[in-house]
Amino acid sequence: MSDTRTETALATTTRVHHHHDGTTVVEVVGEIDMASDKPIRALLADQLGRDPVALVLDLTRVDFFGSAGIQLLVEALAGAERRGVALAVATDRRAVLRPLEITLVNETVDIHPTLDQALAAVRPDRPAPRQVAREQV
């Protein structure tokens, strides 16, 4: 597994992890808003362009998730679908889940409360990912 870290804005950091099974994890720590979304969007596009087997967006340490984050996630999902790449999101944070529920984006994105569960959902030996039921936030 390799690891690359990038500072995107004062309050946001990203890290890319490449797993031996071809899955890429993009971890975001901090805030996803209009001040930080462009570097994250570019990073996701770059990682999808490398044709991973699967992509997991780890948002388990995101404290703020604004409309720019929602748009970024929808674009990443569309890009993954065009390339045939399984995409899952790992988060149990209300700051992320609530905006996704209000906008109904949670109905189109495969969301799991932990990174391990998201990784298991996109494993190459597993059928197409499905959304895991969660309690209301």
Q: What is the enclosing helix (H) or strand (E) of 80? A: helix 67-83
| pLDDT number for residue 4 | 54
User: Is 56:119 a contact under the CB 8 Å cutoff?
Assistant: yes
Each residue's pLDDT expressed in tens, for the chain with a length of 137 residues: 555 555 444 579 999 998 888 999 999 999 999 999 999 999 999 999 999 999 999 999 999 999 999 999 999 999 999 999 999 999 999 999 999 999 999 999 999 999 999 999 998 775 544 444 444 44
Q: Where are the domains of the chain?
A: 2-121
Cβ atoms 129, 33 nearer than 8 A:
no
The candidate with the shortest Cα–Cα distance to 23, out of 129, 130, 133, is 129
List 4's β-bridge partners, or say none: 16
**Coil vs helix vs strand at 34:** coil
Q: Which fold has domain 2-121?
A: Transcription Regulator spoIIAA (3.30.750)
Other CB atoms within 10 Å distance of the CB of residue 131: 15
